[in-house]
Amino acid sequence: MDNFLLETLEIGLLYSTISLSIVFLFRVVGFPDLTPDGSFILGAAVSFYLSENGYSLILVYTGGMLSGMLAGTITAYVHKKLNVSKLLSGILVSLALYSISLRILGSSNKYYEDNQNVYGNILGSESISGLLILMVTALLFFIAVFFYLQTKQGLLIRALGDSEDSFKYRGISTLTLTIIGVSLGNGIASLSGAIISQYQGFVDISMGVGITIGALTAMVIGESILRPYNVFLLLASPILGSIIFQYILATSLEVGLVPTDLKAVISIMTILLLYLQFKSQKKNTSTRQIGNRSF
């Protein structure tokens, strides 16, 4: 396979993990959250700190994920208890997470040593295919979320995302379910940050900036193609969309687009796709796609 195609496919699979986080938060929990921008870098910073201090790989990834879950818990609590809007809660917490991550790192960027960068070393090994490892990684994320949503708690969170008002009418508190859902979504984001930072071989304080919007774009691309009507397709959409999205970005750079213009391209693409999706739904009300679509 051509190096360009192979490398872009690898990056698409890698970033599909953060896209799964966005699908979980936006579509399943019904919580349009920008905390993943901060959770992503927090997970990368915490995992780097643990690696640097000689902790095992399991603890490195567990610590990275738990840090994001804590961030998500704070966002949900700020929204539910302090009556701050969902979007603003995420922005405020994400802003604080950048300062916290910078404190953990001690500088704006840090590089992994060869003996610390376990994930990067595995992918770089000649005896193991990097593409296969990334396929397995994306698959494990997919399976974990898919089977969780089949549990009783997962079904309750899906119901909460579909209609929070139905819980309120029955006098059922949504605090606990909201905290669980938002914390899990951000836990996925922070674990993704830990893995991606190891793949890259470094942690940079700005690596999470705009990551939510990029993942959202990938999600919408996938949904436009698969038009998910069940959980399987809903979770498959961000994986497919992430691969296509990375090919679009890589091709844009190949034809001469300046890297600093990519943010504008992503923004315009997201707006256009959301508009087209909205127009399509208005025309086809009988084929409503699964998941919360209020944002």
pLDDT of 293: 74
In a domain, 287, yes or no: no
How many structural domains compose the chain?
A: 1
In a domain, 286, yes or no: no
In a domain, 274, yes or no: no
Compute CA distances 232 → 17, 73, 182, 272, whole Å: 15, 26, 20, 25
pLDDT of 115: 57
Strands (E), the chain: 109-111, 202-204
- Per-residue pLDDT for 63 more than 50? yes
Q: Mean pLDDT in the chain?
A: 87
Neighbours of 96 (CB within 10 A): 14
In a domain, 155, yes or no: yes
Least reliable range by pLDDT among 61-70, 122-131, 161-170: 122-131
Compute CA distances 244 → 24, 115, 141, 256, 271, whole Å: 20, 33, 19, 19, 17
pLDDT of 253: 82
Compute CA distances 158 → 8, 27, 153, 240, 294, whole Å: 33, 9, 9, 22, 14
In a domain, 45, yes or no: yes
- Per-residue pLDDT for 277 more than 90? no
- Per-residue pLDDT for 127 more than 50? no
Show Cβ contacts of residue 203 under 8 Å, excluding neighbours closer than 6 positions.
Answer: 41, 44, 45, 48, 105, 109, 110, 112, 197
Percent of the chain with pLDDT over 90: 53
Of 99, 30, 51, 112, the residue nearest 71 (C-alpha): 99
Between helices 35-52 and 3-23, what is the axis angle to 10°?
110
Helix (H, G, I), strand (E, B) or coil at 198: helix
In a domain, 230, yes or no: no
- Per-residue pLDDT for 273 more than 90? no
- Per-residue pLDDT for 223 more than 80? yes
| Residue-range definition of the domain harbouring residue 25 | 3-206
Q: 202 pairs with which residues across the strands?
A: 111
pLDDT of 116: 58
pLDDT digits (tens, 9 = 90+) for 162-215: 888 778 777 777 899 999 999 999 999 999 999 999 888 889 998 888 899 899
3-class DSSP string for 114-170: CCCCHHHHHHHCCCCCHHHHHHHHHHHHHHHHHHHCCCHHHHHHHHHHHCHHHHHHC
Mean pLDDT of 26-38: 94
Written as six digits, the tokens of 229 are: 């009507």
Written as six digits, the tokens of 63 are: 């610590």
Helix (H, G, I), strand (E, B) or coil at 204: strand
In a domain, 270, yes or no: no
Compute CA distances 243 → 197, 253, 292, whole Å: 19, 16, 23
pLDDT digits (tens, 9 = 90+) for 98-115: 999 999 998 888 988 765
User: Measured in whole angstroms, how far is the alpha carbon of residue 23 from the centre of its chain?
Assistant: 8
User: Measured in whole angstroms, how far is the alpha carbon of residue 43 from the centre of its chain?
Assistant: 12
Written as six digits, the tokens of 121 are: 């070393």
In a domain, 234, yes or no: no
Of 283, 252, 254, the residue nearest 265 (C-alpha): 252
Least reliable range by pLDDT among 36-50, 89-103, 242-256: 242-256
Whole-model pTM: value is 0.90
Mean pLDDT of 210-236: 91
